[in-house]
Amino acid sequence: MAAVLDALTVFFDHLAAVNWRPLMLALVFQLAKTLARARAQRNILAAAYPEDEVRMRTVIGASLAGSGVNAFVPARGGDLLRLYLLRRRISGASYPTLVSALLVEMIFDTIASLVLLIWAMQTHALPGLNVVRKLPPIDWFWLFRHPLAALVLAVAALVLGFALGLFAAGRIASFRQRVRQGLSVVRTPGRYLRSVVSWQLLDWVLRIVTIWFFLEAFHIQTGLDSALRVQMSESLSTILPLTPAGIGTEQALIVHVLSGRASSSALLGFSVGMKLVLSVWSALLGAAALVLMVRTLRWQRLLTDRELSTGPPHS
């Protein structure tokens, strides 16, 4: 906690030097990234529910609300809220189908993260063990001692958990059908590439553009290499999101991977500032989406509401 507070102090010390024009552009591109991702999500759900209307505004609202909660709650608790809102607004939706649809989203993200990780290993962008031992113990640094193994284990755990769920419900035909329903778009490769992968690719491009403008806003050396290094740090920090938005690990990594492109204090101010600005931005957009969708900001009550287990009304 002391390390986080020190990092925040450094950020506020550098606040006066921030270039606000590229910072505003970064937030615009961050919103565009969210909309592109929501489009991919909507297309996955539209394939799963071809006879039902899956409104784009519903998916955008649920995505913004979930991202807003994830910005301040560890272990991606916002994803539960997103599932709840989608089930509430899509006629006939079920949690098994929505969860399997969420797994479809992760296919491209996992591949992209793996490619980025391999690039980082080939270019020696990742910190060595001697550096990792000196990093402040804010998060799980085992991931950075064995990054490839950590990614493989995370994916394996996800697949194993999904397989165990199928096995446990193997005798329930309706459950299996609902899971297959969520995977519908994958069974048509052409449609999957056009309606999902294309939008997710745009999402990743907009991520890099967003980071580029943040680098410019904080007067850090810009360029594709710098932006990719920051994105790699962010991807690694969220493999096991045990802290809100992966804060801590990402900041320590960014200071290392961008070493030499600015002073250590400037890099720390950039890493903390980018995370703080994005978290506040996500929270504001998420709060607005939540109020518009369910007329309340009490998302914890929604997740413990009786509707979550008995089936919410659809609208």
User: Residue 310: its pLDDT value, please?
Assistant: 44
* pLDDT: which is higher, 274 or 139: 274
User: Residue 43: its pLDDT value, please?
Assistant: 96
Alpha-carbon torsion, ordered 257, 279, 140, 105, to 10 deg: -90
Of 8-12, 116-120, 134-138, 210-214, where does the model show the most confidence? Answer: 210-214
Task: Say which residues have a Cβ less than 8 Å from residue 312's Cβ, sequence separation at least 6.
Answer: 84, 87, 88, 305
pTM of the entire predicted model: 0.77
User: Residue 181: its pLDDT value, please?
Assistant: 87
pLDDT 10s digits, 42-84: 999 999 999 888 999 999 999 999 898 888 776 567 888 888 8
> d(Cα 56, Cα 104) in Å, to the nearest integer?
18
Q: Label residue 139 left, alpha or beta by phi (over 0 means left) and psi (-120 to 50 means alpha).
A: beta
The length of the chain is 315
Q: Where are the alpha helices (DSSP H) in 14-127?
A: 20-48, 56-70, 78-89, 95-122
Could you tell me the CA-to-CA distances from 289 to 55, 102, 120, 190, 297 in Å, in that order? 14, 20, 36, 32, 9
Token pair of 46 as six digits: 């539209």
> d(Cα 297, Cα 124) in Å, to the nearest integer?
44
Residue spans per domain, the chain: 2-306
User: Residue 17: its pLDDT value, please?
Assistant: 75
